[in-house]
């Protein structure tokens, strides 16, 4: 199937939704060998017992959860470690593992923000390992594939940020919009809140409910603005409102931005096509062809559309992705592929 050797991987904190998606992808990834899954709560149990979906899957039946200690992870022989842990906790693992020569892909926020003061402002705690921030790469494979390929520590982006940054970066880079005019509303499925026993996330509370939250300052603003500022070449501040809607998976973002210098739909189309012509997971739907999350769930695609409103001289950018895949685990696998020298799509196509 390939002359490439497969890579041994570990998933730390594997009992949540992102962890389960990572494992699902890795179990059928032809160049990854899953050698270690950890979970404090599930230690000792078989993977297929904790995740009944994986029963009968040969590669899954052989694996048991172990305790998440640095020694056990290193001892498993893993070459690359995915951290699916809460922020603050991930940093406790990333440093020692990298220092021991392993590569780390962190799905938490710990290494996404290059400025520790911004981290402290948004996460209300001092950064646990500020000296290592400069070693980390913010892992958007469409934007900086080479840095990811050479990195030992990838900070995989958040779900909301991915859906907002990817449509905007090419447009900001080409100066097509007023960078002070960005307003975003993002709707997310409940799996984004994680698998935690919280009465506010019960079916009977989320069903038939549409619920904005974390206004006006959601934590993801920190990484969104960091990346948009890099693209614009100056500080960008945006408005962002997340809304919980009753789907299990999927994020849809609506992004408003005012046209600059007479830019129109064709300019936006050109910028996006130019930037993403080689990006296998970005699908450009065309003008005024809104995305639908159900077309991207269970895939690593992000669908993007745009519409110029001449009445207001504003663009409406729209995107849809699976929050657990392109917004988390699938994107982390893209980075993994790049870090291992594999084709970016390995294990991810349909």
60-99 positions binding a copy of itself, by CB under 8 A: none
Residue whose CB is less far from a copy of itself, 220 or 314: 314
**What span, in angstroms and rounded, lies between the C-alpha atoms of 179 and 76?**
47
40 binds a copy of itself (CB under 8 A): no
Among residues 134, 207, 261, 262, the one that binds a copy of itself under rule CB under 8 A: 207
Cα 212 to the chain's mean position, in Å?
A: 21
Q: Which is nearer to a copy of itself, 156 or 253 (CB)?
A: 253
Q: Which is nearer to a copy of itself, 204 or 262 (CB)?
A: 204
Q: How far is the CB of 106 from a copy of itself (least distance, A)?
A: 23
Distance CA 184, CA 315 (A): 12
Euclidean distance between the first and the last CA atom of the chain, given in angstroms as a whole number: 18
Closest to a copy of itself by CB, 100 or 180: 180
Site for a copy of itself in 213-252 (CB under 8 A): 213, 215-217, 221, 237-239, 241, 243, 245-252
Q: Which of residues 267-286 bind a copy of itself (CB under 8 A)?
A: 280-281, 283, 285
The least distance separating a copy of itself from the CB of residue 151, rounded to whole angstroms, comes to 27
The rounded distance, in Å, linking the Cα atoms of 118 and 245 is 29
CB of 280 to a copy of itself, least distance (A): 7
Instruction: Give the nearest distance from C-beta 164 to a copy of itself in angstroms.
Output: 13
The residues in 112-151 that bind a copy of itself, with binding defined as CB under 8 A, are: none
Q: Which long-range contacts (CB under 8 A, 24 or more apart) does 68-74 make?
A: 68/12, 68/13, 68/38, 68/39, 68/40, 68/93, 70/96, 70/97, 70/100, 72/36, 72/38, 73/10, 73/12, 73/36, 73/38, 73/97, 73/102, 74/100, 74/102
Contact assessment for residue 191 and residue 249, using Cβ atoms and an 8 Å cutoff: yes
Residues 184-203 binding a copy of itself (CB under 8 A) are 185, 187, 189-191, 195-199, 201-203
- Catalytic residue numbers read 159
> To which residue do tokens 């009753």 refer?
246
Nearer to a copy of itself (CB atom), residue 111 or residue 308: 308
Written as six digits, the tokens of 98 are: 């990298």
Considering the complex, state which of residue 105 and residue 249 has its C-beta at the smaller distance from a copy of itself. Answer: 249
Region of 49-57, 72-80, 100-108, 132-140 interacting with a copy of itself (CB under 8 A): 49-57
The CA distance from 323 to 311, in Å, is 33
Closest CA to 317 of 341, 344, 285, 349: 285
Residue of 96, 118, 254, 264 interacting with a copy of itself (CB under 8 A): 254
Residue from 67, 75, 309, 341 in contact with a copy of itself (CB under 8 A): 309
């Amino acid at each position: 199937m390939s002359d490439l050797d497969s890579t041994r991987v570990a998933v730390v904190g594997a009992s949540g939704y992102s962890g389960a998606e990572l494992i699902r992808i890795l179990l059928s990834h032809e160049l990854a060998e899953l050698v270690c899954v950890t979970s404090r709560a599930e230690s000792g149990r078989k993977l297929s017992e904790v995740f009944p979906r994986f029963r009968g899957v040969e590669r899954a039946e052989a694996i048991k959860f172990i305790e998440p200690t640095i020694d056990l992870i290193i001892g498993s022989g893993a070459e690359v470690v995915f951290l699916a842990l809460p922020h603050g906790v991930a940093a406790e693992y990333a440093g020692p593992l990298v220092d021991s020569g392993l590569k780390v892909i962190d799905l938490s926020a710990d290494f996404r923000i290059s400025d520790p003061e911004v981290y402290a402002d948004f996460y209300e705690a001092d950064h646990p390992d500020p000296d290592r921030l400069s070693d980390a790469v913010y892992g958007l494979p469409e934007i900086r594939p080479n840095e990811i390929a050479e990195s030992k520590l990838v900070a995989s982006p958040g779900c909301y940020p991915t859906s907002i940054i990817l449509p905007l970066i090419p447009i900001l880079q080409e100066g097509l919009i007023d960078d002070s005019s960005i307003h975003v509303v993002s709707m997310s499925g409940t799996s984004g809140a994680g698998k935690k026993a919280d009465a506010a996330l019960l079916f009977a509370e989320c069903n038939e409910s549409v619920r904005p939250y974390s206004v006006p300052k959601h934590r993801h603003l920190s990484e969104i603005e960091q990346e948009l500022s890099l693209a614009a070449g100056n500080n960008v501040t945006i408005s962002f409102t997340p809304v919980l809607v009753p789907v299990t998976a999927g994020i849809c973002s609506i992004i408003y931005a005012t046209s600059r210098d007479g830019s129109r739909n064709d300019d936006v189309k050109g910028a996006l096509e130019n930037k993403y012509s080689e990006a296998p997971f970005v699908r450009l739907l065309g003008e005024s062809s809104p995305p639908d999350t159900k077309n991207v769930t269970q895939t690593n695609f992000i669908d993007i559309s745009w519409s110029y409103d001449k009445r207001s001289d504003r663009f409406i950018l729209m995107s849809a992705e699976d929050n657990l895949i392109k917004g988390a685990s699938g994107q982390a696998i893209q980075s993994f592929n790049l870090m291992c020298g594999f084709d970016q799509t390995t294990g991810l196509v349909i």
